[in-house]
Amino acid sequence: MNIKTQVDPIPGPVSGVQATCYSRFGFAGAQVALIGCPRDQLREVLKEAVAAAPGLPQSDIGGPWALDADINRGSYLFNFGGLSEETVDDWIKLARDLGFNQIDFHGGRSFRFGDCRPNPQTYPQGYASLKAVIDRLHAAGIAAGLHIYSFFMAKDCPWVTPVPDPRLAKDATFTLADHLAADGEKVTVLESTKDMSAITGFFVRNSVTLQIDDELITYSGISKDPPYAFTGCKRGVNGTRASAHDSGAKVHHLKECFGLFVPDGDSTLLTEVAAKTAEAFNECGFDMIYMDALDGQDILGGWENGWHYGSKFVYQVCRRLKKPAVMEMSTFHHHLWVVRSRMGAWDHPRRSHKRFIDIHCKSNEGLRHMFLPGHLGWWAVMTWSGAQGEPTFSDDIEYLCGKCLGNDIGFSIMGIDPNKIKTIPVYQRLARIMKQYEDLRHANYFDESVKAKLREPGKEYTLFQDADGRWRFRRMQYVKHKVEGINDWSNIWSVNNSFDSQPVRLRIEALLSTGPYHAAGNVTLADFADAQDFADRASAPGVKVQLQSSSEKLKAGKLSGVFTASNSGKTNRQGAWAKAGKTFNPVLDLGQHQALGVWIHGDGQGEVLNFQLTCPSHIVAGISEHYVIVDFTGWRYFELIEPEGERYTHYSWPYGSPYAIYREGINYGQVQNLSLWYNNLPANKKVTCYLSPIKALPLVNTKLKNPALTIGGKTIVFPVELETGSYLEFYSPSDCKLYGPKGELIADVKPQGEVPVLAGGANNVTFTCDGPTDINPRAKVTVICQGDPI
């Protein structure tokens, strides 16, 4: 393969592969030119090209930062501020216990965003103290990462306080209308304030900060009619000095996002921030840089120009590095490929962990065509946190680590530090699983045939050692079912065992319940007295939707809502959706009523009813979904508590993202919308459901006494009390354990009765328990099926 290079400037000490592609093909065509080149042949193919690449050291293609280098496939821990010279040995031990070889120093507490000043409490000698820590990590074979918020700067930076830099970014400028005293609480301006806002939030591109001369002022209100003014002002904020200002002075509105200020993208301040980043990297001996918050680059130049300023900052950093860095960013466009080392770090899910991993892996598939190693972080081990989250179990970690092994990529963990791993028992058990997988991955223990099986979405395995000491995988199946009460429909279900006949294995989780539907104090969200309250109507092509008040079928209240929809067949069934939405103004405080209760009169046609709650977007972007499959006729009562995640991708919806569905929750103190959705509408048919008044109910902790499972006429009883948040795992009569909300072992349990046998194929399962009688006992039951080794 003969690649002729043309002379173009290279932005910094990038890898051999990147510089070669950059110099020959420029930004846009870099990844296209070498599509199909196998990883193991890449170095040989590029030797001739590297020799001609301008400005590139000839040894670089064999150096540790080439794209196929092992460091790009490492796994890392997050340090949010506790890693010091005194604790570094504990962190080294933790990394080794997890099988990790990298540690990420996240800004905010480890160092200040913007100028990267090390935290003086943790690193009293500044860079020297931080470098001493990193030297210790290097001696232990652990790489160190500098995790910045790109060009964003903390409000206690020297560029902000005590005298704000005139090069801070601004998005509006006004003229002071009147003299402003040093203690004045109202800033009156000549120009209209109609486009200004006092709404802020972590992701909101807005501040409530004004700059007049050398003073910063915050406001809480805005007068949008003459005389225009910013009201409720606090003077001399962020360590600036409150002072008087004459009429005619310029009033600047500062830009802000993620709670941080930004430099003017066309000023030298952007370069100064980049220079301080490079200085910290060089002086402290870091090996990696994660440019987080680069997805906020639009704040510098708008959505159409953000790429320019983001790339400009990245390149200003790279030009100043004294050695190549493992480089990652929180956004991607083709200008960044030349300096990027790996990609795929996503924030962790809070529920439906395995489904999220499959979505993540699918997204990562395109990276190999760009010669970028993937990543499956940022992960977090979850313990019981209430209705909006799901605990992380051993099979979740095996699924994650198996996908890493199959794809030969790393992952990262946040929320674990040397202290937490001692106090949260489940961390200790799951850490051993991570280490074993990581050790085998780095040793390249398994051949491609095994890795190919591990890569398959939805396929589950467990790692074990056979009688000869060889590490092998066994096929597994984890079939989950939610019991909504002892009601003869949700506590009876079918499990399909894909393997041979075997004794049952299972997990039982005790869930939250709710107070009674008719109890005083419940909040009625919809009584259907006026169906036009649900004025937000929409539907897929060929779908018609209608919501009306009705007294024809009543179960509770004076009226029902009759929700109908028809699908002409223009849209396939799994994407045939319809919506009727209601907005609450002002928003509702449902902090004490976080469950929904509703009676549904179904028509048995298999459509999906989705009861959806959302908040104002500046509060939180989560979408709380609650699905009901209408596979029944007549009235049935539903208590909707845990948000949906597992089945979201079974259907096509006109909204949502992995973060909104799987990661973010909602703030029940500020609920803005209740939307009723249909999906999975049968072609050329009309569906009709009647709904009782929809009520918000309080959550209730409960106890499941003597939970029991019956399969094939055999019943096994577990003589325990399962409190909400606790769980029981049964693998055999001699291996049955009760765990608490943090994964702590409460007791070894001796089951009573016969162990049921799962036949190959379909099995009817019945769950029962003693009490409570005043509320519906709720549980999640996972039936575990085991297959043959591979």
Residue 354 in tokens: 């395995």
Q: How confident is the model at residue 739 (pLDDT cuts 50, 70, 90)?
A: very high
Of residues 716, 701, 733, 714, the one with CA closest to residue 781: 716
Among left, alpha and beta (phi > 0; psi -120 to 50; other), residue 485 is left
First to last CA, the chain: 39
φ, ψ at 220 (rounded to 5°)? -120, -10
> For the residues of 496-514, what is the DSSP string, one character each?
EE-SS-EE-EEEEEEPPEE
pLDDT score of 304: 93
Q: What is the pLDDT of residue 45?
A: 53
Q: Is 60's pLDDT higher than 50? A: no
CA dist 788 and 790 (Å) reads 7
What pLDDT score does 142 carry?
98
**Whether the predicted pLDDT of 688 surpasses 70:** yes
Q: Which of 592, 612, 593, 609 is nearest to 601 (CA)?
A: 609
* Phi, psi values for residue 353, rounded to 5°: -60, -45
Q: Within 13 Å, how many C-alpha atoms sit on residue 548's CB side?
A: 9
SS3 73: helix
For the chain, counts of helices (H) and of strands (E): 13, 46
For 675, the enclosing helix (H) or strand (E) is strand 671-679
* Spacing of C-alpha 57 from chain mean position: 39
Indicate whether 476 pLDDT > 60: yes
Q: Is residue 608 within 8 Å of residue 600, measured between CB atoms?
A: no
Q: What is the mean pLDDT of residues 248-257?
A: 98
The residue ranking higher by pLDDT, 43 or 416, is 416
With 70 as the cut, is the pLDDT of residue 332 above it? yes
Q: Left, alpha or beta for 622 (phi > 0: left; psi -120 to 50: alpha)?
A: beta
265-321 pLDDT, tens digit each: 999 999 999 999 999 999 999 999 999 999 999 999 999 999 999 999 999 999 999
Q: Is the pLDDT of residue 453 over 70?
A: yes
Gap between the Cα atoms of 752 and 715, Å rounded: 8
> What contacts 648, CB < 8 A, 6 or more positions away?
352, 355, 625, 656, 661, 662
pTM over 0.85: yes
Percent of the chain beyond pLDDT 70?
92
**Quick check: 292 and 330 in contact, CB under 8 A?**
yes
Task: Tell how far CA 497 is from the center of its chain.
Answer: 32
Please report the pLDDT score of residue 29 as a whole number: 36
Two tokens at 102?
């990298």
E strand or H helix at 91: helix 88-98
Structure tokens at 764: 């009817």
pLDDT of residue 36 exceeding 70, the answer is: no
Place of tokens 């905010």: 108
| Two tokens, residue 580 | 């009727």
Quick check: 22 pLDDT over 50? no
Residues 127-147, mean pLDDT to the nearest whole number: 98
Mean pLDDT (whole number) for 573-593: 98
Helix 268-284 to helix 127-139 angle (10° resolution) is 50
- Upper half-sphere CA count for residue 417 (Cβ side, 13 Å): 13
- Residue 410 to residue 403: CA distance in whole angstroms: 10
pLDDT digits (tens, 9 = 90+) for 592-605: 999 999 999 999 99
Candidates 491, 497, 500; CA nearest to 710 is 491
Question: How far apart (Å, rounded) are the C-alpha atoms in residues 95 and 353?
Answer: 23
Could you tell me the pLDDT band of residue 127, with boundaries at 50, 70 and 90?
very high
Over pLDDT 90: what percentage of the chain?
89
Tell me what pLDDT residue 724 has.
98
Average pLDDT of 482-493? 95
- Res 459: pLDDT: 97
Tokens 């090069």 belong to which residue?
A: 167
* Distance from C-alpha of 141 to C-alpha of 573, rounded to nearest angstrom: 54
Specify the length of the chain in residues. 790
pLDDT band at 35 (very low <50, low <70, confident <90, very high): very low
pLDDT-based confidence at residue 348 (cuts at 50, 70, 90): very high
436 near 445, Cβ under 8 Å? no
Provide CB contacts within 8 A for 304, sequence distance 6+.
Answer: none
What is the distance between the alpha carbons of residues 46 and 48, in angstroms, rounded to a whole number? 6
In angstroms, what CA-CA distances link 272 with 152, 166, 383? 12, 14, 42
Under a CB-based contact definition with an 8 Å cutoff, are residues 367 and 374 in contact?
yes
Residue 40 reports pLDDT greater than 60: no
How far lies 298's CA from each of 535, 540, 724, in Å?
Answer: 33, 32, 44
Confirm if 331 and 295 have CB atoms less than 8 A apart: yes
Query: Would the pLDDT of 97 be above 70?
Result: yes
In which element (H, E) is residue 699 found? strand 699-700
Given pLDDT bands bounded at 50, 70 and 90, which one contains residue 753?
Answer: very high
What is the average pLDDT value for the chain, to the nearest integer? 92
Calpha distance 786→770 (Å, rounded): 30
Residue range 364-415, pLDDT digits in tens: 999 988 889 999 989 999 999 999 999 999 999 999 999 999 999 999 999 9
pLDDT of residue 18: 52
The answer to whether residues 694 and 682 touch, using CB atoms and an 8 Å cutoff, is no
Q: How far apart are CA 180 and CA 533, in angstroms?
A: 47
Q: Which residues of 149-170 are buried (b: 16+ CB within 10 A; e: fewer)?
A: bbbbbbbebebbbeebbeebbb
Ramachandran category for residue 293: left, alpha or beta (phi over 0 → left; psi -120 to 50 → alpha): left
Residue 61: band (very low, low, confident or very high) from pLDDT cuts 50, 70, 90: very low
Rounded CA separation 760/511 (Å): 29
